[in-house]
Amino acid sequence: MRELLGKYFDYLLIERGIAQNTMESYGRDLRRFISFIQEKKEISDVKGVNSETIIEYLTQIRDEGLAANSVNRALAALRGFYKYLLREKIIVDNPLANIELAKVWMKLPDTISKEEMKTILAQPGGQNNAALRNSAMLELLYATGIRVSELINLTMNSINWQVGFLIVMGKGSKERIVPVGKVAYDCVRRYVDDVRPKLMQKKMTDVLFLNRFGGKFTRQGFWKIVVGYARKAGLQKKVYPHTFRHSFASHLLEGGADLRTVQVMLGHSDISTTQIYTHLTREKLKEVHQKYHPRS
């Protein structure tokens, strides 16, 4: 089975061009499944796996405390593997044919209000290099809803200055284009013109946002900046870089943006992932109704 798995990974890498992160994720899920199969003495190879085996496996990893999203991801990895086995005529029947993705009741993402966001964005304050750079990073994060990993990997070629668009390389090496608002555009422009040349310290790099040593930010380094400003702003709730992405989506939908547009800007391949934010807007409507309606 491990030999088949190796061939499957070669197929994903060479023919499908799957991104490294996705490969690692699939690898963890499928190796865990193979370990589960090897513990069952009555199953000698992939042909001995049936739908009952799959359900037993999914039940076991769920009972071990794996989140619903992770169980679904494990099932998706298995589905791809068995489709490959069918394609290569290694098996005749697909044991996953009648198994649907489990219903996932996702935890609503943490967001902050527009007023709270405004307070955090005001925290860098001063005119020193670090403050101007941090302000540019925070404004761009909120203006575009990009992930922190996407932010720190931006290069000087990522921004189209003529039309005000950001070119982002997202998950699975998928490129998308996101508009940049005027405030964020002006902040990043000032950083590039006045601050970045000083931070470069004669180094040759095309990384857009540089740390004080002239190198690329780490996720943890930027995480500390966000957490520090949230604390400085006096917010009681926890705020992380991903909170900016969640708030970006929520605020757009609250303002009347359509779901499909938000999906494109977030880079979600499946609109069902974006739909989680519609729950947030409904919760907001309910909150307003209860607060202001005389009979609520």
Residue 207 pairs in a beta bridge with: 155
Q: Is 275 a domain residue?
A: yes
Residue 243 and residue 108: Cα distance in Å, rounded?
12
Residue 72 phi/psi, 5-degree rounding, is -65, -40
Question: Is the domain of 149 the same as that of 223?
Answer: yes
Residue 158 and residue 161: Cα distance in Å, rounded?
9
Q: Is 96 a domain residue?
A: no
Q: Is 7 a domain residue?
A: yes
Q: Is 106 a domain residue?
A: no
Residue pLDDT, tens place only, 78-104: 989 999 999 888 888 888 877 765 544
DSSP string, 165-182: EEEEE-GGG-EEEEE--H
- Per the CB < 8 A criterion, the answer to whether 12 and 26 are in contact is yes
Give, in degrees to the nearest 5, the angle at Cα 144 between 141 and 149.
50
Question: Is the domain of 131 the same as that of 267?
Answer: yes
CATH of residue 232's domain is 1.10.443.10
pLDDT of the residue at 107: 56
By C-alpha distance, which of 263, 238, 230 is closest to 248?
A: 263
Q: Is 109 a domain residue?
A: no
Place of tokens 């076991």: 60
Helix%, strand%, coil% for the chain, nearest 5: 60, 5, 35
Question: Is the domain of 35 the same as that of 140?
Answer: no
Query: Which residues are CB-contacts of 257 (< 8 A; sequence separation ≥ 6)?
Result: none
Token pair listed for 295 = 């009979």
Query: Which segments of the chain have a pLDDT < 50?
Result: 103-106
Residue 64 and residue 227: Cα distance in Å, rounded?
32
Q: Is 258 a domain residue?
A: yes
Question: Is the domain of 151 the same as that of 288?
Answer: yes
Domain span including residue 199: 114-292
Residue 153 phi/psi, 5-degree rounding, is -95, 5
pLDDT of the residue at 145: 94
Question: Is the domain of 147 the same as that of 195?
Answer: yes
How far from each other are the two terminal CA atoms of the chain, in whole angstroms?
A: 60
Question: Is the domain of 151 the same as that of 234?
Answer: yes
Question: Is the domain of 23 the same as that of 132?
Answer: no
By C-alpha distance, which of 271, 208, 276 is closest to 242?
A: 276
Place of tokens 């307003």: 288
Q: Is 269 a domain residue?
A: yes
Residue 166 pairs in a beta bridge with: 159, 178
Residue 100 and residue 86: Cα distance in Å, rounded?
18
Please give the tally of structural domains in the chain. Answer: 2
Burial 60-95 (b: 16+ CB within 10 A, else e): ebeeeebeeebbbbbbebbbbbbebbeeeeebeeeb
Question: Is the domain of 175 the same as that of 276?
Answer: yes
Residues carrying an active site annotation: 147, 171, 242, 245, 268, 277
CATH of residue 7's domain is 1.10.150.130
Question: Is the domain of 173 the same as that of 31?
Answer: no
Question: Is the domain of 79 the same as that of 191?
Answer: no
- Per the CB < 8 A criterion, the answer to whether 83 and 96 are in contact is no
Q: How far is CA 295 from the centre of its chain?
A: 41
Residue pLDDT, tens place only, 197-254: 999 988 889 999 999 999 999 988 999 999 999 999 999 888 999 899 999 999 999 8
